[in-house]
Amino acid sequence: MITKKDVEHIGWLARIELTEEEKEKFTKQLNSILDYFEKLDEIETDAAPMHHVFGLTNVFRDDVAKKSMSQEDALQNAPKKEKGCFKGPRIV
Amino acid sequence: MKPQSYELHMLLSETPGDEMKDVIIGLEVHVQLNKLRSKLFCSCSTQYHDSEPNMCTCPVCLGLPGALPVINEKAVDSAIKVALALNCNIEEQIMFYRKNYYYPDLVKGFQISQYDYPIAMDGKISIEADGEREIRIKRVHMEEDPGRLIHVGTIDRSRYSLIDYNRSGVALLEVVTEPDLRTPKEARLFLNKLRNILEYLDVFDGSLEGSLRVDANISLAGGARAEIKNISSYKGVEKALLFETVRQKNLVRRGIRVAQETRHYDEVRGITISLRTKEEEKDYRYFPEPDLVPLRIGDRVDDIKRALPELPDAKRQRLVKQYDISDHHAKVLTSELKLANFFERVATKVDANLSATWIADVLKGELNYRGIGIDAFSPEHMIQILQMLKNDKITEKGAVQVIRTILDEGGAPPEIVKRKGLLKIEESIITRAVAEVIKENPAAVKDYHDGKNEALHFLMGQVMKKTHGRADPSMVSKLLKEKL
Amino acid sequence: MNVDGIREMVKSGKSVEEVIQSLFDKIERSKLNAFITLAKEQALEEARRVDKHGAKGMLGAIPIAIKDCISTRGIQTTCGSKILEGYVPPYDAHVIERLKADGAIIIGKTNMDEFAMGSSTETSYFGPTRNPCDLSRVPGGSSGGSAAAVAGGEVPIALGSDTGGSVRCPASFCGVVGLKPTYGLVSRYGLIAYANSLEQIGPFARNVKDVALLLDVIAGYDPRDSTSMDKKCEYTKELRDDVSDVKIGVPKEFFGEGIDEDVEKAVWSGIKVLEDLGASYTEISLPHTKYSLAAYYIIAMSEASSNLARFDGLRYGLRLGKDKDWHTTFSEIRANGFGEEVKRRILLGTYALSAGYYGRYYLKALKVRTLIKRDFEVALKDTSVLITPTMPFPAFKIGEKIGDPLALYLADVNTVPINLAGVPSISVPCGFVGKLPIGMQIIGRHFDEATILRTAHAFERNTGG
């Protein structure tokens, strides 16, 4: 069972502010979906977890530096910018 | 020296500094693998230090939707190199994980890091504190560097932040120690040693701004542990730990419990402040990065091991043996790879012991005084200076003067000796000056014969004056005593 | 209107510009809401260039629509979300580079469930897309805009993405052909991730031949996608009209409970058609199928919760007026920019990955995935393709299921196992319930797109498709 308090904590971790109404609703819905996920508890397995469908390993790139984007391209979508930087909110 | 903050001053003044035996320190050191050409997961250059903000980014390191990481092979090999040099066990298979947390310097809302299956575990290095101490390394793992946050004002008073992502995605190596360090000084010695090893391996340039950052865990025996985040200088680590030790001891003395918390080191004020805004370890939701595949690295370790260069401890032992120099000198000389190379270059041309003394004691001192590196001095010049000294062409004082002149004004030794008139003068000239001085100062001569030793100093001074300081003092003293 | 149809129009004397313009005219009058953004200026300029200098490449002068989760340089790419409204990528996805190199003309970006989270294209911030066969019904999802645009004759071919059925479901609901390639066949570079380990970009068209043609263009190794593999072949050349060597497996778990009777009947008659053409069939079992949905949703939501963390309004996307402290600023932007379904999945994924639950949910799901993949490998050892209904039922009414998230998740029951196993799968129309199309799913061995395309092609040719 997950509680409204759990939902609040998850909302904080996910940085999504939730209204009271949303908290109630999601608590209910999440519980019914998590109940469904319990299906996996039925199965005991020592199969290796899948990390790539074909077990691919060792995909690398050479240490070669290539041209970067222009500052203009980098900042093109920034809602707020200043002095060539992205402008962010205050930290504390 | 910056003036100490009032808080620091008060804290230090009320506490004796010697009772540190019960301090427990562990470090998490983040070093940039800044000798790589490109970042850890994209082809942007690591040479961003002279760039305008946000000029070294691409969709990958800017975290644009849809961009995918690809691992830099050399970064992995460099990490293996370091892990071997730290005497770690290299894992057979390694993986990258996502460490999920939010912060404005983090472009994706997660950092690609390592969790289970890191590159290496269980190493150790020795440091020389009061005697040799072994510091255990818990693990070594790779991760990507976040961008750089510029607080407009100080961190706790700024109205907004500016973010430069040039640094974002640079390969970082995190070296985590066991809590084996006992004093802030040991922490500094550990960092020096680590830097030393990294530079020997040619994976790290510690002179670049922001190339090393440290999180330090510190507690008093039996007390809760404070984590000081993101200390970004070598000196800062010792200072921050010193401050924190004293702060915690004062709390204990007043009967207040030390809180387990994250603190921020304010470099400007020299203090740590409580700063609890980020997620805690249990909130990071690590899971394997699905855009990367596991790496099997077992079969590349042997080749890398074979190609490892001579490391500081081994070099120190070899220098003592091969050149018959003192261990102290060998220690100083191997504290920097460039210094050791400089020494060996010079020592093959002139007397090794003389070279060791003049490089480790004199030259190093002059460089430190000026805050510059060995690159500023040519080994050829050192060879010339020592040869002149050895051949009695210049005095020791003259040699020091040549070194200082090169450092301050430039130029080459022969030319400086000529220009400054440092060529040591002939014995006959000194003999003549001695005779003259004896003749001109009968009173002093009498005093000398009456047993007044200061008279000899006076007479020597007179001879030096006549020879404009170019006479070898030991020679003057010898000749004076003979004539008297 | 298919690729040959466009070529005919041009051959018969129409300029490429006129052809493209006629599509835009149609789209602008359309009630489907299949597009979020039209690239009118760029497309017409390209058309004029082709009219002047001639077409190049396998898709020379062929118009194409792109699902709005695939990055297009200079064209707004929103993923159907308010949080990305106005975002213009400074780079092209790998598939877009390939399309451009082969002469295709991108006419616009198609509507989709927000961040591909849905099976109905109703969760889009830009309003639902309508099914061309019945405007009161959903086109399926999440690539509903691409499927509807092709089915509605607004464009001959389109790209979608398929994480758990997002190409095949709308193909089935709209009566077009849609293919999900083997994991790793098509580069994901530039595809805005929903669930990285499951998804592939896939083609839509009105016939199998055009799907094969489009796959020829977009498939192939890309060093920028570490999970991509060098396994492509020439798919159009494999479209022989011969299925006599094809052994069909019919997995019993994909029929029965929850599957509409008419759908089941239509698929069985499809299998009979192939049998008449010389293919053989046996009933087989994929025993771990019942765990697919749970495993799929756990993996997809977990990965999504992390993938969508980057949307914080700093570098691109929605930013609300006045900033507060960073934590509140981010939380408000994300609360405001994400729709309800996206929030639900992020919350669930965050929970599934959190300390103490990782082993029970995500890690367990990765283990179950191994079992499911093994099921398919075993089944496909003695058979060359598997055939099932694509969706359990035909297109439902807009608004009909949106209130019950879990019920909507269950609709993906026949498509998600394919993504878990990483195998390729194609949906081809195989009949109707009233005027609503039914899709037949043909699943193949890893990297054996050739055989499922050939089977689908033979079926299509012999059923008047």
Task: Measure in Å the smallest separation between the Cα of C198 and chain B Cα atoms.
Answer: 9
Please answer yes or no on whether A76 and C327 come within 8 Å at the CB atom.
no
Strand order in the sheet with B287-288: B110-113, B97-100, B287-288
Residue of B55, B75, B102 with shortest CB distance to A15: B102
Please answer yes or no on whether B43 and A61 come within 8 Å at the CB atom.
yes
Residue range(s) occupied by CATH 1.10.10.410 in chain B? 427-483
In the prediction, which pLDDT does B482 show? 81
Please answer yes or no on whether A6 and C351 come within 8 Å at the CB atom.
yes
Q: How far is CA C242 from the centre of its chain?
A: 27
Task: Measure in Å the smallest separation between the Cα of B240 and chain A Cα atoms.
Answer: 21
Cβ–Cβ < 8 Å for C288, C372? yes
Q: Report d(CA B142, CA B127) in Å as an integer.
A: 24
Ordered mean pLDDT values, 10 residues apiece, chain C (465 residues)? 94 95 97 98 97 94 97 98 98 98 98 97 98 98 97 98 98 98 98 98 98 98 96 94 96 92 96 97 96 97 98 95 90 97 97 91 96 97 98 96 89 97 98 96 98 97 78
Q: Report d(CA C312, CA C338) in Å as an integer.
A: 11
Residue C384 annotated as catalytic: no
Cβ–Cβ < 8 Å for B27, B140? no
Chain A residue with the nearest C-alpha to that of C196: A52
Handedness of CA A83, A85, A86, A89 (dihedral sign): negative
CA atoms within 13 A on the CB side of B231: 32
Interface of C with B in 287-346 (CB under 8 A): 302-303, 305-306, 308-312, 314-316, 323, 326-327, 330
Q: How many domains does one find in chain C?
A: 1
Q: Report d(CA C208, CA C212) in Å as an integer.
A: 6
Alpha helices in B410-441 (DSSP H): 413-419, 427-440
E strands, C324-412, where? 385-389
Put simply, whether C285 touches B (Cβ < 8 Å) is no
In the prediction, which pLDDT does B1 show? 36
In the prediction, which pLDDT does B430 show? 79
In the prediction, which pLDDT does B7 show? 52
Task: Measure in Å the smallest separation between the Cα of A53 and chain C Cα atoms.
Answer: 6
Cβ–Cβ < 8 Å for C47, C105? yes
In the prediction, which pLDDT does C256 show? 80
Print the domain residue range for C445. 1-465
In the prediction, which pLDDT does C135 show? 98
Measured between beta carbons, which residues in chain A are less than 8 angstroms from residue C344?
A: 26, 29-30
Q: Report d(CA B228, CA B245) in Å as an integer.
A: 12
In the prediction, which pLDDT does B396 show? 84
- Answer whether residue A17 is part of any domain: yes
- Answer whether residue A5 is part of any domain: yes
Please answer yes or no on whether C353 and B285 come within 8 Å at the CB atom.
yes
ipTM for the whole complex = 0.97
Q: What is the CATH number of the domain that holds C55?
A: 3.90.1300.10
What CATH number should be reported for the domain whose range is B427-483? 1.10.10.410
Show pLDDT as tens, one digit a residue, over chain B (484 residues): 344 454 555 455 444 444 445 899 999 999 999 999 999 999 999 999 999 999 999 999 999 999 999 999 999 999 999 999 999 999 999 999 999 999 999 999 999 999 999 999 999 999 988 888 999 999 999 999 999 988 776 666 678 899 999 999 999 999 999 999 999 999 999 999 999 999 999 999 988 888 999 999 999 888 888 889 889 888 899 999 999 999 898 888 888 888 888 888 888 888 888 876 556 778 899 999 999 999 999 999 999 999 999 999 999 999 999 999 999 999 999 998 999 999 999 999 998 988 999 999 999 999 989 888 898 899 999 998 888 888 878 888 888 888 888 888 888 888 888 787 777 776 677 788 888 888 888 888 888 888 888 888 888 888 888 877 777 787 788 888 887 7
Count of A-C CB contacts under 8 Å: 173
Residue C124 annotated as catalytic: no
Cβ neighbours for C228, distance < 8 A, ≥ 6 positions apart: C184, C185, C186, C187, C188, C221, C222
How many other C-beta atoms lie within 10 A of the C-beta of residue C244?
Answer: 9
Q: How many domains does one find in chain A?
A: 1
- Which residues from A are below 8 Å from B when comparing CB atoms? 13, 15, 51-52, 56-66, 68-71, 74-75, 82-92
Residue of B107, B165, B292 with shortest CB distance to C310: B107
Nearest of C270, C195, C204 to residue C440 by alpha carbon: C270
Q: Which position among C166, C172, C187, C302 bears the catalytic label?
A: C166
Please answer yes or no on whether C290 and A10 come within 8 Å at the CB atom.
no
Q: How far is CA C56 from CA A49, B378, C20, C49, C158, in A?
A: 45, 62, 17, 11, 19
Q: How far is CA C308 from the centre of its chain?
A: 20
Q: Report d(CA B391, CA C109) in Å as an integer.
A: 84
Q: Report d(CA C68, CA C312) in Å as an integer.
A: 20
Q: Report d(CA C356, CA C359) in Å as an integer.
A: 7
Measured between beta carbons, which residues in chain C are less than 8 angstroms from residue A78?
A: 314-316
- Answer whether residue A29 is part of any domain: yes
Task: Measure in Å the smallest separation between the Cα of B143 and chain C Cα atoms.
Answer: 17
Please answer yes or no on whether B287 and C306 come within 8 Å at the CB atom.
yes
Measured between beta carbons, which residues in chain A are less than 8 angstroms from residue B74?
A: 62-63
Measured between beta carbons, which residues in chain C are less than 8 angstroms from residue A21?
A: none
Residue C142 annotated as catalytic: yes
Print the domain residue range for A1. 1-42
- Answer whether residue A70 is part of any domain: no
In the prediction, which pLDDT does B412 show? 87
Please identify which residue in the block is written with the tokens 């799929």.
Answer: C296
**B162, B230, B295: best mutation site toward chain A, by most A Cβ within 10 Å?**
B162
Measured between beta carbons, which residues in chain A are less than 8 angstroms from residue B283?
A: 13
Measured between beta carbons, which residues in chain A are less than 8 angstroms from residue C326?
A: 88-91
- Answer whether residue A66 is part of any domain: no
Residue B60, φ and ψ in degrees, nearest 5: -70, -55
What is the number of H-type helices and E-type strands within chain A?
3, 3
- Answer whether residue A12 is part of any domain: yes
- Answer whether residue A80 is part of any domain: no
Please answer yes or no on whether B52 and A71 come within 8 Å at the CB atom.
yes
Q: What is the CATH number of the domain that holds A4?
A: 1.10.20.60
Cβ–Cβ < 8 Å for B53, A81? no
Q: Report d(CA B182, CA C383) in Å as an integer.
A: 67
- Answer whether residue A49 is part of any domain: no
Please answer yes or no on whether A17 and C332 come within 8 Å at the CB atom.
yes
Put simply, whether B160 touches C (Cβ < 8 Å) is yes
